[in-house]
Structure 1
Amino acid sequence: MSGYDVVIVGSGPVGTAIARELADLEPSLRLLVLDAGPVLGPEAGGHVKNIADPSTRASAVAAVTGRRTPAGATPPRPGTALIGTPAMPNAAVSTNVGGMGAHWTCACPRPGDDEIPDFLDPAAFDAALARAEQLLQVTTHAFDRAPLTPMVQKVLGERLDRPGVRPVGPMPMAVTVGADGSPHWTGPAVIAGDLWRRPGVTLAPGMLARRVLVEDRRRATGVQTVDIATGSVRRVTARAVVVAGDALRTPRLLWASGIRPAALGRYLNDQPQVMAAALLDEPGILQTSAPGTAIVPLSGVSWVPYAADRPFHGQVMQLDASPVPLDPGTTVRPGQVVGLGWFCRKELSADDRVWFDEGELDEHGMPAIRIEYRLTAADRSAVAAATAEIKAAAKALGRPLDDPFVMPAGSSLHYQGTTRMGPADDGTSVCDATGRVWGTDNLYVGGNNVIPTATACNPTLTAVALGVLSARALQAGLRAEEENA
Structure 2
Amino acid sequence: MTGDDVPRSFPSAVDVAIVGSGPTGAAYARVLSELSPGTTLAVFEVGPALTDPPGMHVKNIADLDERLVAQRRSEGVHPHTATKAEAALTDPTKRVVRPGTHVLPDGFRQPGEDGIPALAMSSNVGGMGAHWTCACPRPGGAERIDARPDLDELLDEAERLLGVSRDPFGDAPYSDVVRERLGAEFDAERPADRYVRSMPLAVQRRADGALTWSGADVVFGDVTRDNPAATLFPEAQVRRVLVEHGRAVGVVVRDRRDGTDHEVRARFVVAAADAVRTPQLLHASGVRPPALGRYLNDQPQMVFAVRLRDVGSTAADQHDPRGDTAIVQQSGVSWVPYTDANPFHGQVMQLDASPVPIVGDVPAPGTVVGLGWFCGKDLQATDRVEFDDDAVDEFGMPKPLVHYTLTDRDRATLAQAARSVRRAADALGEALGDEPFVLPSGASLHYQGSTRMGAVDDGTSVCGPTSEVWDVEGLFVAGNGVIPTPMACNPTLTSVALAVAGAREIAARLAQGVETQTTSG
What TM-score bracket applies, with the shorter chain setting the length?
over 0.9
Aligned mates of 2:263, 2:33 — CA distance in 1: 23
Which has the higher mean CA deviation after the structures are superposed, 437-446 or 33-42?
A: 33-42
Q: Which moved more, 1:112-121 or 1:464-473?
A: 112-121
Pair 1:144 & 2:170 matched:
yes
Equivalent residue for 1:8, pick from 18, 24, 44: 18
Which deviations, in whole Å up to 9, do the C-alpha atoms of 1:128-161 show, x marking residues without a partner?
Answer: 1110011111112210220111100011011111
Q: Which has the larger displacement, 159-168 or 444-453?
A: 159-168
CA pair 70-257 structure 1, distance change in 2 beyond 3 A: farther
Which position in structure 2 is the counterpart of 1:24? 34
Give the total of aligned pairs. Answer: 479
| Code of the aligned partner of 1:280 | L
Whether contact under 8 Å (1:437, 1:444) holds in the other structure is yes
Q: Could you say which residue in structure 1 is the equivalent of 2:340?
A: 308
What is the aligned-residue RMSD (CA, Å)? 1.8
Which residue, 90, 95, 103 being the options, matches 1:73?
95
Pairwise CA distance, 1:361: 1.3
Match of 2:411 in 1: 380
Aligned: 1:472 with 2:504: yes
**Equivalence for 2:191:** 164
Aligned partner of 1:470: which letter? G
Query: Separation in 1 of the partners of 2:332 and 2:358?
Result: 26
Counterpart pick for 1:196 among 215, 222, 225: 225
Post-superposition Cα deviations, 1:423-479, rounded to whole Å, max 9, x if no partner, equal 111110000000000001100001110111111111011110000000011112223
Distance 1:110 1:34, change over 3 A: same
The match for 2:65 is 55
Residue aligning to 2:236? 207
- Kindly indicate whether the alpha-carbon contact (under 8 Å) linking 1:142 and 1:183 is maintained by their aligned counterparts in 2: no
The code of the aligned residue for 1:97 comes to V
Q: In the alignment, is the contact (CA less than 8 A) between 1:351 and 1:373 conserved in 2?
A: yes
Q: For the structure 1 residues 299 and 272, does the alpha-carbon distance in structure 2 shift closer, same or farther, using more than 3 Å as the test?
A: same
User: Out of 113, 118, 140, which is 1:112 matched to?
Assistant: 140
Per-residue deviation, residues 194-243 of structure 1 (Å, max 9, x unmatched): 11231100000110000001112x11111111111211111111111000
Change (3 A) 1:452 1:163: closer
Give yes or no for the alignment of 1:422 onto 2:454: yes
Supply the distance in 2 between the matched residues of 1:329 and 1:368 (Cα, whole angstroms): 51
Maintained 8 Å contact 2:73/2:124: no
Aligned to 1:393: 424
Q: CA deviation at 1:15?
A: 0.5
Q: What is the aligned counterpart of 2:74 among 64, 68, 84?
A: 64
Structure 2: how far apart are the matches of 1:196 and 1:395? 49
Counterpart in 2 of 1:102?
130
Q: 1:302 to 1:243 in 2, by over 3 A?
A: same
In 2, are the aligned partners of 1:279 and 1:337 still within 8 Å (CA)? yes
Q: Name the CA distance, whole Å, in 1 between partners of 2:285 and 2:502.
A: 21
Deviations 1:363-402 (A, max 9, x none): 6530121111111111111111111111221222122111
1:385 maps to a residue whose letter is Q
| 8 Å Cα contact 2:393-2:400 kept in structure 1 | no
CA 1:267–1:294 in 2, change beyond 3 Å: closer, same or farther? farther
What is the 5 A alignment of 1:228-377?
228-280=256-308, 282-285=311-314, 287=316, 289-290=320-321, 291-293=323-325, 295-322=327-354, 324-326=355-357, 331-362=362-393, 364-377=395-408
TM-score w.r.t. structure 2 length? 0.89
Is the contact made by 1:210 and 1:364 (CA closer than 8 Å) also made in structure 2?
no
After TM superposition, the structure 1 stretch with the greater mean CA deviation from structure 2, 473-482 or 284-293, is 284-293
Change (3 A) 1:163 1:9: closer
**Residue 238 of structure 1 aligns to a residue in which SS?**
strand
1:223 aligns with 2:261: no
1:327/1:172 CA distance change after superposition, 3 Å: closer
Report % sequence identity. 51
Amino acid at match of 1:126: D
Residue segments in structure 2 that go unaligned for 5+ positions in a row? 1-9, 81-89, 110-114, 517-521
Q: SS of 1:139's equivalent?
A: coil
CA contact (8 A) 1:226 1:364 kept: no
Distance 1:351 1:483, change over 3 A: closer
Distance (whole Å) between structure 1 residues aligned to residue 438 and residue 388 of structure 2:
29
2:513 alignment partner, SS class: helix
- Structure 1 residues not aligned, in runs of 5+: none
Q: Residue type of the partner of 2:294? A: R
Q: How many angstroms does 1:332 deviate by?
A: 4.5
SS in 2 for 1:193: helix
